[in-house]
Amino acid sequence: MFLWVKALHVISVIAWMAGMLYLPRLFVYHADAEKGSVQSETFKVMERRLFCAITTPAMIASWIFGLTLLHLYGTGIFSEGWIWLKLAFVLLLSGFHGFLGKTLKAFARDENTRPAKFYRMINEVPTVIMIVVVIAVIVKPF
């Protein structure tokens, strides 16, 4: 059972990361689109579907399978430093997910005030978080 849960955790994390990397990129192009245009309305549909149908369910699955893995590992895992680093950065990624959801709602109401350059910069946030988590889990530096 452990390997199945681990595989499902990795699959859901990959799906979550795909959404977290793609949604800010959509915001880059949406920020440059004229409000009310066909292009802007198309971005709204794409963003909503990505966030609601893929990214959020994948985040929920990642948490469920991740917490299940913690349960299967037992409390001894909490004596290892890498798990705390991973948990901290997963919480950070979850907060970023919430920020993207809030941003999505602002775009849906045509109330975005940030330029495309802002979204280009924040597009790197999930990449940095992913790098830290992968190194923590694979290398276990402490």
Give which of 73, 78, 83 is closest to 133, Cα–Cα: 83
> Rounded to two decimals, what is the model's pTM?
0.94
Question: Does the annotation flag 30 for ligand binding?
Answer: no
Q: For 123, which DSSP code? A: T
Give which of 17, 34, 7 is closest to 89, Cα–Cα: 17
- Provide the pLDDT for residue 119: 98
Tokens of 80: 């290892």
Question: Does the annotation flag 9 for ligand binding?
Answer: yes
Tokens of 10: 């990795």
Compute CA distances 12 → 31, 63, 70, 85, whole Å: 29, 9, 16, 20
Compute CA distances 40 → 50, 105, 110, whole Å: 15, 13, 9
Alpha-carbon torsion (119, 14, 129, 67), positive or negative: positive
- Indicate the number of domains in the chain: 1
- Provide the pLDDT for residue 50: 98
Q: Which domain holds residue 123?
A: 2-139
Tokens of 46: 């794409």
- Provide the pLDDT for residue 12: 98
Block means of pLDDT (10 residues each) for the chain, 142 residues, are: 97 98 98 97 98 98 97 95 97 98 98 97 97 97 92
- Provide the pLDDT for residue 36: 94
Give which of 48, 46, 51, 49 is closest to 20, Cα–Cα: 51
